[in-house]
Structure 1
Amino acid sequence: MKRAATLSRLTVIAVTLGATFAACGARAETIRIGEINSYKAQPAFLGPYKNGWNLALDEINAAGGVNGNKLEVVSRDDNGNPGDTICVAQELVAREQVKLLFGGYLSNTGLALADYAKQRRIFFLAAEPLTDKIVWQDGNKYTYRLRPSTYMQVAMLVPEAAKLKKKRWALVYPNYEYGQSAVATFKRLMKAAQPDVEFVTEQATPLGNVDAGAVAQALADAKPDAIFNVLFSADLGKFVREGNTRGLFKDRAVVSLLTGEPEYLDPLGAEAPVGWIVTGYPWYSVDTAANKKFVADYRAKYHDYPRLGSVVGYSAMMSLANGLKKAGSADSDKLAAAFKGLAVNTPFGPISYRAIDNQSTMGAYVGVTALKDGKGIMASYRYIDGASVQPSDDEVRKLRAAE
């Protein structure tokens, strides 16, 4: 009798322990994601960007995470330096044990991360870097990109530039990968659209250290009919103020990448240019359900309005969540495969990641700058789908031939 009772108790204990171990084995894990960006160097864009991905992260985890797993982001600053970028990537992977990476702002740091992803075979979502090389010449299996590329955004603007029928163009741009690429693409596409176009001067300025007075004067001396501007952030503000002071923009057309983004337009206040053809984000008047919900949620959380960076951060995190769900794993090979054709809902509407070059179809708003109540706004704008401004598949295959 005693022996039977003892065996019975042991059986109960064994069953209980088995159930406990099974529950432990099935317990959801936290997926650690590494995020790298130039927060100190580019706060105007990246502060709102971080708010955006944090908003999405909260929404994802509040809904139970991804496949029952909560997401955790471990973020690092790269000081806007490619060498530091690699150092923090190595630290995140080796010490923090992150499973994948996202982020990047400047094109040079983005390219450094793309190469690291290729060498280490770790998934990397380039949220912001605009250089074409990330998905074309330097493209690789493990690197995807969210924002429309330099080529795509220039291709959105060239038809508007060609409509101006201006012959003599001046070019001003930051002298690094993004600026150089934007100008090269503008020249090529404008020549195709308007064969008689002339490029009368180029001003390539140090990133973050533009001599705006000298640049504005050099452009004025060339007597162009129109200006193509690629400057952004603080460089843009200095250029606009010096140009206004010297009458550079009077009776002269300007086509300008990024200037309609609130990060760069809002600080100009009443000095904001009028009549420039730009890409940007008129958050205050986009009347889609997706944008209105995003704006309302963002304002409720941060008591502030969103910028374009906010959309990029939010959409990047939602992309990762959708990719992880589809892959059923944080394994980089499975995640890279899952991102091919991946569909994501964003504040700009549905997008997908193209299988041919790992580029998303996110588009941009193209419009004209105006002043309202002493502030710069975008008027007469329209949304251009990123899928409509891509080269042919054959061209993309040639560009990615070295992959």
Structure 2
Amino acid sequence: MKLTKRALLGGAILAGLAAAATVGAAQPSSKTPVKIGEINSYSTMPQFTQPYRQGWQLAVEEVNVAGGLLGRKVEVVARDDAGKPEEALRHAIELTSKEKVDVLAGGFLSNVGLALADYAQKNKRVFIASEPLTDALIWDKGNRYTFRLRPGTYMQAAMLVEEAAKMPAKRWATIAPNYEYGQSAVAAFKELLKAKRPDVEFVGEQWPAQGKLEAGTTLQATTQSKPDAIFNVTFGADLAKLVREGNQRGIFPKVPVVSLLSGEPEYLDVLKDETPKGWIVTGYPWDQIDSPEHASFAANYYRRFGEYPKVGSVVGYATMQAIFAAIKKANSVDNEKLVTALRGLKFSTPFGPAEFRAIDQQSTMGAYVGKLDLRGNKGTMVQWRYADGKAYLPSDAYVKARRPAAAMK
């Protein structure tokens, strides 16, 4: 069959139109938003996750006023995992398959974070773990697609050990929730304190179920071991119960305490005038930080929400800042390109500059270390310092011994 010149020309035009249509379909239009799927324990940990939500809302509003990303608006699709790994997985599936989000972010509890990280690995989806503190997330169960923002249990334990090692205490007891986060924190504290002070011994361990602490029973068992000091990892309602019971029994401040997270406004606001003086803690003295980046963030946050920022606010804001910086660097939302961009990525936070180090995909964002005190019948931090996260990360050799080789690729 002979083809006329006109037929050939027509076919070429049709083929060109089809190709153009295909390219157009493959390239999102400026009307298609960059979508971030955010999963968190909004109903079970509102004292942290409500400020967290407001933090990421502020970041999204700011980037959209500035023109968005890749010429497109940014949209966050948020879901509540109710503190359950199975709920988080259900939402992750829905967000990626139905909502077609470009990136996954969030997680509060460590077991939820590990479930989301496993999903990210199996489905090759970038997951920015904002809050989960277990180090299994980046080491033993680390993977190519999971990056963690907050300093984990090893880093924060190292910050506290620096102070604990100076104490005369030789006999230590621990109180921690009996799940991944608590176990990880106690293991890191023991390892690091013994390395600095070989003379110390751990004489008692209490492992209450998260959210179900029986403060009287726990403290009675702890004091029976006659510790010189206590390492505490409880938080939220459990922390409030522990402090109240310890104050009533005269245990605090008689027995010195080193405590993870207890200087955060989320928890000090609950403790109020019951805040135990002298505890050595990691936290956030928001009203005393005068750096330009923090002053700008705090002012904008107050202007937007009419309240002062919490740690959750900082984490929510910084999580989005990291994602925005990665998308800008990759000039794409392709997940493989984002992984490349995230490794070694430098980004800004209200605490100052940070980066994801390439070897384990852990952020160098730090925390504040100081002592608890009362000011105007409210808990506060005194004698504090900023502990830059990069100074408390383990060596490359340590990471290589724990992180799967496949996660390094």
Please list, as runs of the form range in 1=range in 2, the aligned pairs for 1:236-255 lying within 5 A after superposition: 236-255=239-258
User: Judging changes above 3 Å, is the alpha-carbon distance between structure 1 residues 151 and 26 closer, same or farther for their aligned structure 2 residues?
Assistant: closer
User: For 2:168, which of 165, 169, 187 is the aligned residue?
Assistant: 165
Distance 1:118 1:73 in 2: 21
User: For 1:297, which of 296, 300, 320 is the aligned residue?
Assistant: 300
* Paired residue secondary structure (2:353): strand
How far residue 200 of structure 1 moved from its aligned partner, in angstroms, is: 1.3
Percent of aligned pairs with the same amino acid: 55
Distance 1:73 1:248 in 2: 46
Aligned twin of 1:232: 235
Q: CA RMSD in A?
A: 1.6
User: For 2:99, which of 96, 104, 110 is the aligned residue?
Assistant: 96
Please list, as runs of the form range in 1=range in 2, the aligned pairs for 1:41-60 lying within 5 A after superposition: 41-60=44-63
User: Judging changes above 3 Å, is the alpha-carbon distance between structure 1 residues 221 and 26 closer, same or farther for their aligned structure 2 residues?
Assistant: closer
Please list, as runs of the form range in 1=range in 2, the aligned pairs for 1:311-390 lying within 5 A after superposition: 311-390=314-393
User: TM-score, normalised on structure 2?
Assistant: 0.92
How far residue 341 of structure 1 moved from its aligned partner, in angstroms, is: 1.1
2:34 is equivalent to residue 31 of structure 1: yes
Kept in 2, the 8 Å contact 1:217–1:246? The answer is no
* Paired residue secondary structure (2:142): coil
Aligned twin of 1:184: 187
Aligned twin of 1:115: 118
Q: What is the count of residue pairs matched by the alignment?
A: 384
The C-alpha deviation readout for 1:209-245, integer Å capped at 9, x for no partner, is 1001111221222221101000001100000000001
Aligned twin of 1:7: none
The C-alpha deviation readout for 1:105-155, integer Å capped at 9, x for no partner, is 000000000000000001100000001011111111111000001100000
Distance 1:230 1:303 in 2: 31
How far residue 26 of structure 1 moved from its aligned partner, in angstroms, is: 8.2
Aligned twin of 1:267: 270
Look up the equivalent residue of 1:320 and give its one-letter code.
I
Segments of structure 2 that go 5 or more residues without pairing to the other structure are 1-16
Segments of structure 1 that go 5 or more residues without pairing to the other structure are 1-16
How far residue 23 of structure 1 moved from its aligned partner, in angstroms, is: 11
2:85 is equivalent to residue 82 of structure 1: yes
Kept in 2, the 8 Å contact 1:34–1:73? The answer is yes
User: TM-score, normalised on structure 1?
Assistant: 0.93
Aligned twin of 1:152: 155
Kept in 2, the 8 Å contact 1:191–1:197? The answer is yes
Distance 1:352 1:337 in 2: 13
Kept in 1, the 8 Å contact 2:367–2:386? The answer is yes
* Paired residue secondary structure (1:257): strand
Distance 1:195 1:26 in 2: 59
Distance 1:298 1:380 in 2: 25
